[in-house]
């Protein structure tokens, strides 16, 4: 929970304490926000800064490109000013070799051994290549990296990634940038049951209800970019995502009611007047 959470003061003290102490442990670090934000796509640095602040995120993804094609140093000033931790990605890599080198370059540039590992297997769908991904993850873990792999929603691949030492598993809900939401919720729920590391829903989120669903399915966090940066009002959507992640987390903890085929009245029939 964040310090500005409006809900906790209305809770009974014991529950409020429990909610306030709901830390997100990832890679040996502790976060209060469970929303990770990608920086790609924002129409301006001013919009990006407002969105980052509204989201409450503490971890944002960044990339490395040839210096002529990179952002000005101003983007890093914005992120430094927001006080967020940086998570470099390996976007654009299609082999383990490229991804490992990109991660090593990012470690030099950003002075962090954390990496969002992306190894793309298909240019059209941008779906991850599980074979190359597993190979790269194993090499990077051996090299001391904290590896957060972007993967498909196959629970067995997720478990293999944790077997080689990944600090989290980040399954897609739908293809990157598609905004299609979580196409196979059951696979995400199965993955959550099959691994002992944090599961962060990454890619496919289109709107706030998708982020809430991810948390209701048991995900420990949500990573999204376009859903905020390309929204008509990124700052407003960033706040929506923050609240959706918090709401989904609360609902997961509260325990949803069973689904029923038909109705079940909540108003008692006893004492019904005859009119």
Active site residues: 116
Q: Work out which of 1, 93, 225, 244 binds other proteins, going by CB under 8 A.
A: 225
**Should residue 144 be labelled a site residue for other proteins when binding is judged by CB under 8 A?**
no
Interaction of residue 142 with other proteins, rule CB under 8 A: no
- Of 1, 59, 64, 211, the one binding other proteins (CB under 8 A) is 64
Strand pairing class (29-31; 24-26): antiparallel
> Which H or E run contains 17?
helix 13-20
**274 part of the interface to other proteins, by CB under 8 A:** no
Q: Which is nearer to other proteins, 73 or 83 (CB)?
A: 73
Q: Alpha-carbon distance 215 to 220, whole Å?
A: 7
Q: How far is residue 83's CA from residue 189's CA, in Å, rounded to a whole number? A: 32
Taking the alpha carbons of 83, 9, 220, 235 in that order, is the dihedral positive or negative?
negative
Q: Which residues does 30 contact at the CB level (< 8 Å), separation at least 6?
A: 23, 24
Instruction: Give Dmax over CA atoms of the chain in angstroms.
Output: 81
Q: Which of 1, 26, 62, 167 binds other proteins (CB under 8 A)?
A: 62
Residue 176 within binding range of other proteins, rule CB under 8 A: yes
Among 3, 10, 72, 270, binds other proteins (CB under 8 A): 72
Asked if 67 touches other proteins (CB under 8 A), the answer is yes
148 binds other proteins (CB under 8 A): no
Q: Does 106 bind other proteins (CB under 8 A)?
A: yes
Site for other proteins in 15-44 (CB under 8 A): 38-42
35, 215 in Cβ contact below 8 A? no
Contacts with 272 (C-beta within 8 Å, 6 or more apart), sequence order: none
Residues that bind other proteins (CB under 8 A): 38-42, 48, 61-73, 75-76, 89, 91, 101, 104-106, 108-111, 176-177, 225-226
């Amino acid at each position: 929970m964040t310090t500005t959470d409006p809900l906790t003061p209305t809770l009974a003290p014991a529950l409020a304490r429990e909610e306030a102490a709901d830390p997100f442990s990832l890679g040996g670090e502790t976060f209060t926000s469970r929303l990770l934000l990608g920086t790609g796509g924002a129409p301006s640095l001013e919009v990006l800064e407002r969105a980052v602040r509204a989201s409450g995120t503490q971890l944002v993804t960044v990339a490395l490109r040839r210096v002529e094609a990179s952002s000005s140093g101003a983007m890093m000033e914005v992120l430094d000013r927001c006080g967020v931790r940086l998570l470099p990605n390996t976007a654009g890599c299609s082999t383990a070799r490229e991804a490992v080198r990109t991660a090593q370059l990012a470690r030099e540039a950003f002075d962090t051994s954390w990496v969002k590992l992306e190894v793309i297997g298909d240019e059209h769908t941008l779906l991850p290549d599980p074979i190359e991904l597993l190979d790269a993850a194993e090499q990077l873990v051996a090299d001391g990296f904290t590896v957060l792999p972007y993967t498909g929603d196959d629970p067995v691949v997720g478990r293999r990634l944790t077997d080689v030492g990944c600090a989290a598993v980040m399954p897609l809900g739908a293809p990157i940038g598609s905004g299609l939401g979580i196409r196979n919720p059951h696979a995400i729920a199965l993955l959550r049951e099959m691994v002992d590391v944090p599961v962060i829903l990454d890619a496919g989120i289109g709107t706030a209800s998708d982020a809430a669903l991810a948390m209701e399915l048991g995900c420990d966090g949500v990573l999204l970019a376009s859903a905020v940066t390309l929204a008509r009002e990124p700052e407003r959507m960033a706040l929506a995502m923050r609240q959706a992640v918090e709401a989904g987390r609360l609902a997961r903890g509260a325990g949803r009611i069973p689904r029923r085929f038909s109705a079940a009245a909540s108003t008692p029939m006893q004492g019904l007047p005859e009119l």
